[in-house]
Structure 1
Amino acid sequence: MRHFISVDQFTEDEIQDLLQTAEHYRMGGSPEFSKPLFAANLFFEPSTRTKMSFTMAQKRLGIETLDFHMDTSSTKKGETLYDTARTMQAIGADLLVIRHASDTWSNELQQKLSIPIINAGAGKAEHPTQCMLDLLTIYQEFARFSGLKIVIAGDIRHSRVAQSNAKALKQLGADVYLCAPPGFQDKSLDFPYVTMDEAAEISDVLMLLRIQHERHQGESGSSDDYLKNYGLTKARERKMRNHSIILHPAPVNRGVEIDSDLVECRRSRIFKQMQNGVYVRMAVIARMLQEWGMTGEDTIKKYQPVLASR
């Protein structure tokens, strides 16, 4: 694992191992590095949770973060993503965390850079660390994936979260369904579609997505009655199974894809997802640095299955 680009690159055992490592860090574990390390977080799209949780993960690991803001960078003068990344490597960055609007931004960089790269979001294609934190949250709740009915609902067509999660969850044995308004479906994902009423009734995990207005390129957005027709209303929430939980990668559009009162209801694990994001990103960073020989040999190992103790 030289770079962390896609969930497709991992086996089921490798996914489980990363989740165990993340849980180990949640319980207070921390690796030791062989030298002072520096990470550059290159975010070319707006971000709160992903960028800040990567920063927090780096600080908890004792890694210095190099400051980067697109609006005050040389990208405003025409510098390419590759040249920005190559500059960070040249000045001493040991690790790059990158978010960019292109679906395929990583293709060139993987071949030309000699430091690890972590994908923090690639256009509509992938968001692998979000996927991992979602998997951790689900596993903490149910201690399994096999046989769970998981519905991903919302703007499927424009969501990198849907792309990453649907594939990984199927690989882990979950029964995955999609739910989307007309025009928001993605025919490239081979999963059955259900209505929002059906989603509420059958799901063990209901994963909501916001409308990706910034990716619609002139397409019409939500109507005034989106919540009524396609969102999670309080009436639909009452039909959910007693044990069922609600996930959302955020930012949440309250009153659109979910009734505002449900964002922090007893079923919601939305803020727990955010907490888990720090530990998952610690695990991913540590694993990458281990692959590149920047940690002690025994620093990161296969921990006892602490999650299975539920």
Structure 2
Amino acid sequence: MSSRTQHSIIDLVSLEKEKINRLFSTADQLALNPFIPSKGFGKTGALLFFEASTRTRMSFETACAQIGVHPMLLDGKSGSSLEKGETLEDTVLNVAAMKPAFVVIRSGDDLDFNDITTKLQMPVINAGWGKKGHPTQALLDAYTIRKHLGKIEGQKVLIVGDARHSRVAASHVELAAKLNYEVAFCGPEGFLPERFDVKVFKNFSEGLAWATVAMALRVQLERHVTKYSLANYRKNFGFTVENLKGLSDKALIMHPGPINQGTEMDTEVLQKDSRCRVLDQVSNGVLIRQAILLEVLGGL
């Protein structure tokens, strides 16, 4: 296996449990001192975000800054040669020719991450690939669970909402197999995935009674042919004060963002429920992504 392929993170199937534990351990160290000197000081890193992002993009930018790597950011098509008809692959190859230490990519299904990795001489990190996966998000979620519940093994993570179109859900299915936690889905029929063999709760209250972690997903109505009533969604599956009475006081409430407040999660839950760890997920996202960059740069 080449060093490039070894350090790339495209999915969680090929990421060894030993490396995951090492990332968590590094994140613990970074929580105490985020400015650990790295082998990447003075180098550049390419952040190619062909799809919109706030948390993922800015956490990678912050991670770069804290280890002394200068981020070369491409944020969408505006102002780039993509507006002139250049393909995504040509854009990636041209940026890679500038010799960054690594390439972080977020795009739709129209770019093949596995194929592009074979064409580059530096590690590739998946920052969100279509509906296929979002490994760094699943890792930061698991790290957040570990931080607050003491361990990730044996936890019961209920993912509520549009799992059919969710790359976050896809990555959690992969990660659960590595770290020995359970994943179940809950939501309207049209939101439930067809490609995963996991537990499904069609009744929200039953799912909440089972869960040690309840994670809401954004309702991606733009991906549905049949429109679903947002009012009905909030009533039946929304993280409202009333609905969440069935969730254990010791459980966690999470959301990978962005949140449609008043649909997937009410503002009162987001801001006042002591079980809610949404903003902590964001903080932990910097730690995990910084740990990943340190790993691909050769470790501490």
TM-score by length of 1: 0.89
Residue segments in structure 2 that go unaligned for 5+ positions in a row: 1-5
SS of the residue aligned with 2:279? helix
CA displacement at 1:155 relative to structure 2? 0.2
Native 8 Å contact 2:10 2:125 kept in 1? yes
Counterparts of 1:120-135 in structure 2 under 5 Å?
120-135=127-142
Change in Cα spacing, 1:80 to 1:142, as seen in structure 2 (3 Å) is same
Counterpart among 51, 58, 61 of residue 67 in structure 2 = 61
Contact in 2 for aligned 1:97/1:119 (Cα 8 Å): yes
The answer on 1:201 being equivalent to 2:209 is yes
Residues in 2 aligned to 1:219 and 1:114: alpha-carbon distance in whole angstroms: 44
Alpha-carbon separation, structure 1, partners of 2:280 and 2:41? 32
Q: Which residue of 1 aligns with 2:296?
A: 288
Is 2:35 the counterpart of 1:27?
A: no
Cα deviation, residue 132, structure 1: 0.8
Q: Which amino acid aligns with 1:18?
A: L
The residue matched to 1:166 in structure 2 has which SS? helix
Equivalent residue in structure 1 for 2:183, among 172, 176, 182: 176
Residue in 2 that maps onto 1:191 = 198
Equivalents in 2 of 1:214, 1:22: separation in Å? 35
Unpaired runs of 5+ residues, structure 1, are: 291-298, 301-310
Partners of 1:34 and 1:161 lie apart in 2 by: 28
CA distance in 1, matches of 2:141, 2:110: 21
What SS is found at the alignment partner of 1:83?
Answer: helix
Aligned AA (2:62) = M
Residue of structure 1 aligned with 2:223, choices 208, 212, 215:
215
Indicate yes or no: 2:123 matched with 1:116: yes
Checking the alignment, whether the CA contact within 8 Å between 1:103 and 1:124 is kept in structure 2 is: no
Distance 2:186 2:31 in 1: 32
2:49 is the alignment partner of 1:43? yes
Letter in 1 for 2:56: T
Report how far residue 54 of structure 1 moved.
Answer: 0.5
Deviates more, 1:234-243 or 1:218-227: 218-227
- 1:48-102 Cα offsets, whole Å, 9 max, x none, are 0000000000001111111323211111111112211111122232221110011
What does residue 254 of structure 1 align with?
261
Query: Is 1:166 the equivalent of 2:166?
Result: no
Q: In the aligned structure 2, how far is the partner of 1:237 from the partner of 1:178?
A: 16
Q: How far apart, in 1, do the equivalents of 2:155 and 2:38 lie?
A: 37
Kept after mapping to 2: 8 A contact 1:170/1:176: no
Aligned partner (choices 89, 93, 106) of residue 96 of structure 2: 89
Partner of 1:271: 279
Cα deviation for residue 107 of structure 1 reads 2.3
RMSD: 1.6
The percentage of counterpart residues that share the same residue type is 35
Asked whether the 8 Å contact 1:196–1:231 carries over to 2, the reply is: no
- Using the alignment, how far apart are the partners of 2:126 and 2:168 within structure 1? 12
For 2:93 and 2:266, the matched residues in 1 are separated by 45
Aligned with 2:21 (options 13, 16, 20):
16
Q: Distance in 2 between matches of 1:35 and 1:124?
A: 34
Give a deviation string over 1:81-135, Cα, whole Å, max 9, x none: 2211111122232221110011752022111111111110000010000011001
1:214/1:60 CA distance change after superposition, 3 Å: farther
The structural deviation recorded for 1:145 is 2.2
Amino acid in structure 1 at the alignment position of 2:47: N
CA deviation profile, 1:151-185 (whole Å, cap 9, x unmatched) = 11110100000000122123312122111211111
Shift of 1:139: 0.4
Distance 2:188 2:110 in 1: 23
Matched-pair contact (CA < 8 Å) for 1:244–1:267 = yes
Specify whether residues 74 and 22 from structure 1 end up closer, same or farther in structure 2 by C-alpha distance, changes over 3 A only.
same
- Whether the 8 Å CA contact 1:95–1:115 is kept in 2: the answer is yes
Mean Cα displacement is larger for which, 11-20 or 124-133?
11-20
Of structures 1 and 2, the one with the larger relative CO (CA 8 A, separation 6+) is: 1
Q: Equivalents in 2 of 1:289, 1:96: separation in Å? A: 12
Distance 2:254 2:50 in 1: 26
The whole-number CA distance in structure 1 between the counterparts of 2:176 and 2:211 is 14
